[in-house]
Amino acid sequence: MSLVIGVDGCPGGWIAVRWGETLSHHLYRSFADVLAMDAAAIAVDMPIGFPDGSGRAAEREARARLGERQSSVFSVPSREAVMCRDYRAACAANLRNADPPKKVSKQVFHIFPKMREIDALMTPDLQSRVFEVHPELAFWAMNNGQPLPLPKKQKSRPHPPGLDLRRTLLEAAGFPLAALPPSVYRTAEVGPDDLLDACACAWSAGRILEGRSLRLPADPPRDRRGLRMEINA
């Protein structure tokens, strides 16, 4: 099969699962290193395209499908807010642009650097092989369009029953999880949920390449840079 890559942001950089004739995983320090890979499709769990105002239709449509897991999908702040390096400045920017006015959560603010990193590299043409995905939406698709009953984390810690459920769904959906080499990373750099999410992203990349994926929304709007604002699964 053609090489596809699933990517998840993690404390150590970007954990990428490469799925083709073989299955492997690699920790990259920059997203530019991921783009340098000769993959037919790259699916990444990170927003591509930022609104000028309030949120994106992609998140609203994803949350409507995820039931109790909808909290895993955060609202993407305004472009002006994402470009702020200071938390108070980011909140002020989003208050100016959002309707209704809304500050930025600390959790989302902490991933702004990765959001800016992708934005600096992305172009509309590059979206022919680089796609935004979301692991929980992938697991929803694997589960016959039903929200998962178990979270992957509880109190910010891995939840083994939830992780086991996701492993079972991946294998049932045809992802060769048993062939994945053992993790060699420190948990401070790559958590077990990060690697599992990257596998789900790789599964979505395969679906995109085969033309079987779901796009939310079906007719995605573009941001001021011409980037499609969508989530694929």
pLDDT per position as a tens digit, 67-103: 999 999 999 999 999 999 999 999 999 999 988 899 9
Helix residue spans in 41-134 (DSSP H): 57-66, 79-82, 87-97, 106-109, 112-121
Strands (E) in 46-193, as ranges, are 130-132, 153-154, 157-158
The answer to whether the bond into 217 is cis (omega within 30° of 0) is: yes
pTM of the predicted model as reported, rounded to 2 decimal places: 0.95
Burial 35-72 (b: 16+ CB within 10 A, else e): beeebebbbbbbbbbbbeebbbbbbebbbebbeebeeb
The DSSP bridge pattern shows strands 4-10 and 41-45 to be: parallel
Three-state DSSP state, 79: helix
Cα three-residue angle 166-169-171, rounded to 5 degrees: 110
- In sequence order, the β-bridge partners of residue 99 are none
The DSSP bridge pattern shows strands 130-132 and 4-10 to be: unpaired
Instruction: Read off the tokens for 145.
Output: 């369009």
Cα(93)–Cα(114) distance, rounded to whole angstroms? 19
Is the distance from CB of 192 to CB of 119 less than 8 angstroms?
Answer: no
Q: pLDDT tens digits, the chain, 233 residues: what are they?
A: 799 999 999 999 999 999 999 999 999 999 999 999 999 999 999 999 999 987 899 999 999 999 999 999 999 999 999 999 999 999 999 999 988 899 999 999 999 999 999 999 999 999 999 999 999 999 999 999 999 999 998 877 889 999 999 999 999 999 999 999 999 999 999 999 999 999 999 999 999 999 999 999 999 999 999 999 999 99
State the DSSP code for 1: -
Cα(56)–Cα(230) distance, rounded to whole angstroms? 8
